[in-house]
Amino acid sequence: MIELKQLTKQYGKPGRLTTALSGLDLSIQKGEIFGVIGHSGAGKSTLIRCMNLLERPTSGEVWVNGINLTALGKKQLQNERRKIGMIFQHFNLLSSATVFDNIAFPLRLCNTPKSKVEQKVGELLALVGLEEHRHKYPAQLSGGQKQRVGIARALASDPEVLLCDEATSALDPQTTDSILKLLLDINRRFNLTIVLITHEMHVIQSICDRVAVIHQGGIVEEGPVTEVFLKPRHEVTRDFIRNDQLSDGDPFTTLSGQPNERTVKITFLGAKTYESTLSDVVRETGVTFAILQGTISKIKETPYGQLIVRFEGSPESVNQTVVQLQKQGLDVEVSS
């Protein structure tokens, strides 16, 4: 659906160039919610603006639905951009226009008949839950309501792709969750490809299918959210996860055991999260255990759990316990 090939973006003049993106490759499939996470200055906003050529890349290609946008002329590019909706961190609404007129704006730009504008805007107001606010102005709305207007406006031209540039970072946590649920509903209802730029791991974990981690203008890690979140390879990814979990200390790395003790981190995914696998195995092997830390949560709709456990027993029985847990399909990491 979206293919970025050796994408490079530089700013400035020769001799004083700043590189925002450097030879970046990325592939996003039709109908998925794809997240891009990175710290401030990593290049994520430049990346999403290059996807619809609001920023023209210095080099490389941007392909959307089989069309190379970087090879198009101005008029052709305008036509293709109508298939790409975009919502922004600070809403970018017309302050002197009503909610209705803000949503109708892209339709009127392409001379849509008045009756069709009325019908389409009415449908979108119902979709985002703002029917009662159609005659209000942006200044009369909350932040969440403004973003709902932005989403409705982005959907007005029936796009195939929706780009979200830090769409929830200006919102409180409760409002953020409601906007994320709305985006998930839109994705499922219309099979709309959504690309979501953020610096919040919670956003990625809530609704994304796959994620790419961007750092210093390049992708340092990419894959299904469950894989990247539970088995991060890059230090930047691990940093995001640590900050999201807000842990005051990880017993897995901060405690040292006695010779007959072993600290392990056990990860449960899917239905196994709620099964009694651990108690069944230790009953069989005869080791005792203490739970030092535990969490149960969800990645999108997939439940997962993590336990940090201290096993006590003979080295042989502890090793057998680890092997048996792994045979049951659990990921078990043994502290060094």
The H-or-E segment that residue 316 falls in is helix 315-327
pLDDT of residue 246: 46
* Domain map (residue ranges) of the chain: 2-243, 257-334
The identity of residue 158, as a single letter, is: D
pLDDT of residue 258: 59
Instruction: Tell which residue, 62, 53, 45, 81, has the closest CA to residue 3.
Output: 62
The identity of residue 181, as a single letter, is: K
Residues of the chain with confidence (pLDDT) below 70 = 244-260, 336
Q: What is the pTM of this model?
A: 0.88
The single-letter DSSP state of residue 235 is: H
Q: Rounded to whole angstroms, what are the CA distances from 238 to 227, 234, 241, 308, 336?
A: 12, 6, 5, 17, 18
Give the other-Cβ count within 10 Å of 145's Cβ. 19
Helix pair 143-155, 114-128: axis angle to 10 deg: 140
Matching residue, tokens 């981190």:
265
**CA atoms of 84 and 68, how far apart (whole Å):** 14
User: Which pair of structure tokens corresponds to residue 153?
Assistant: 């406006």
What Rg value do the Cα atoms of the chain yield, rounded?
24
Whether 2 and 63 have beta carbons less than 8 Å apart is answered as: yes
CATH entry, 2-243, from 3.40.50.300, 1.10.1200.10, 3.30.450.40, 3.40.50.150: 3.40.50.300
- Rounded to 10 degrees, the C-alpha dihedral 281/284/290/292 comes to -10
**CA atoms of 159 and 157, how far apart (whole Å):** 6
Instruction: Compute the C-alpha angle 147/155/301, nearest 5°.
Output: 70
**CA atoms of 122 and 128, how far apart (whole Å):** 10
β pairing state of 33-37 and 193-198:
parallel
pLDDT of residue 250: 53
Whether 29 and 56 have beta carbons less than 8 Å apart is answered as: no
Whether 20 and 50 have beta carbons less than 8 Å apart is answered as: no
Whether 214 and 38 have beta carbons less than 8 Å apart is answered as: yes
Q: Reading across the β-sheet that carries 218-224, which strands appear in turn?
A: 84-88, 161-165, 193-198, 33-37, 210-215, 218-224
The H-or-E segment that residue 101 falls in is helix 99-109
pLDDT of residue 251: 52
Matching residue, tokens 């901060």:
254
Sign for the CA dihedral angle at 184, 126, 162, 18 comes to: negative
The single-letter DSSP state of residue 39 is: -
pLDDT of residue 336: 67
Domain 257-334 fold is Alpha-Beta Plaits (3.30.70)
Whether 325 and 284 have beta carbons less than 8 Å apart is answered as: no
Name beta bridge partners: 7.
Answer: 24
pLDDT of residue 247: 45
The single-letter DSSP state of residue 335 is: -
For 320, residues 6+ apart whose C-beta sits below 8 A from its C-beta are 285
- Rounded to 10 degrees, the C-alpha dihedral 194/222/37/29 comes to -10
pLDDT of residue 241: 84
pLDDT of residue 240: 87
pLDDT of residue 170: 86
